[in-house]
Structure 1
Amino acid sequence: MSQTARASTAPGKQMLSEQVYAHLRDAIMRGDHAPGSPLKPQDLAKEQGVSLAVVREALVRVVGDGLADRLPNRGFAVPSFSDRRWQEIAEARRTVEPVVLRMSVERGDVEWEARVRAAHHRLVRTPAYAPEEGEHYTAAWAEAHRVFHRTLLEGCGNHALLETFDRLWTASELARRWSARRTPGRDGVEEHRALEEAALARDADTAAAVLAQHLTLTAAALTGDPAPA
Structure 2
Amino acid sequence: MTQTVGGPGLPGKQMLSEQVHARLREAILHGAYSPGDPLKPQELAKEQGVSLAVVREALVRLVGEGLASRLPNRGFAVPAFSDRRWQELTEARLTVESAMLRMAIERGDVEWESRVRAAHHRLTRTPAFAPEEGEYYSDAWSEAHRGFHRALLEGCGNSVLLDTFDRMWTASELARRWSSHRAPSRSATEEHGRLEEAALARDPAAAADALVRHLSLTAAALSPS
Q: Which residue of 2 aligns with 1:166?
A: 166
Name the TM-score, length of structure 2 as normaliser.
Answer: 0.80
Q: Deviations over 1:139-190 (max 9, x none)?
A: 4333322221122122333344334333433343322333414453x44323
Shift of 1:133: 8.2
Shift of 1:83: 6.7
Could you tell me the percent identity over the aligned residues? 73
Q: Deviations over 1:24-63 (max 9, x none)?
A: 1111111212222221222222222222222222111111
Q: List structure 1 segments (4+ residues) > 6 angstroms apart after TM superposition.
A: 130-135
Q: Which residue of 1 aligns with 2:60?
A: 60
Q: Is the 8 A contact 1:68 1:78 kept in 2?
A: yes
Q: Which residue of 2 aligns with 1:91?
A: 91
Q: Is the 8 A contact 1:129 1:138 kept in 2?
A: yes
Rounded Cα–Cα distance in structure 2 between residues aligned with 1:132 and 1:21: 21
Counterpart residue type for residue 54 of structure 1: V
Q: Which residue of 2 aligns with 1:156?
A: 156
Counterpart residue type for residue 116 of structure 1: V
Q: Is the 8 A contact 1:109 1:155 kept in 2?
A: yes
CA RMSD of aligned residues (A): 3.0
Q: Deviations over 1:77-133 (max 9, x none)?
A: 111221744333222221221112122223334433222111100111223356888
Counterpart residue type for residue 95 of structure 1: T
Rounded Cα–Cα distance in structure 2 between residues aligned with 1:108 and 1:99: 14
Q: Which residue of 2 aligns with 1:202?
A: 202
Shift of 1:224: 4.7
- SS, match of residue 119 in structure 1: helix
Q: Which residue of 2 aligns with 1:23?
A: 23
Q: Which residue of 2 aligns with 1:10?
A: 10
Q: Which residue of 2 aligns with 1:212?
A: 212
Structure 1 residues 16-25 or 64-73, which shifts more? 16-25
Rounded Cα–Cα distance in structure 2 between residues aligned with 1:65 and 1:104: 26
Structure 2 residue runs without a partner (length 5+): 1-5
Rounded Cα–Cα distance in structure 2 between residues aligned with 1:30 and 1:224: 22
Question: Structure 1 residues 159 and 48 mapped into 2: Cα distance closer, same or farther (>3 Å)?
Answer: farther
Rounded Cα–Cα distance in structure 1 between residues aligned with 2:75 and 2:68: 10
- SS, match of residue 175 in structure 1: helix
Q: Which residue of 2 aligns with 1:126?
A: 126
Structure 1 residue runs without a partner (length 5+): none
Q: Is the 8 A contact 2:136 2:178 kept in 1?
A: no
Question: Structure 1 residues 145 and 11 mapped into 2: Cα distance closer, same or farther (>3 Å)?
Answer: same
- SS, match of residue 76 in structure 1: strand
Counterpart residue type for residue 145 of structure 1: H
Q: Is the 8 A contact 1:108 1:155 kept in 2?
A: yes
Q: Which residue of 2 aligns with 1:48?
A: 48
Rounded Cα–Cα distance in structure 1 between residues aligned with 2:14 and 2:135: 37
- SS, match of residue 13 in structure 2: helix
Rounded Cα–Cα distance in structure 2 between residues aligned with 1:61 and 1:132: 26
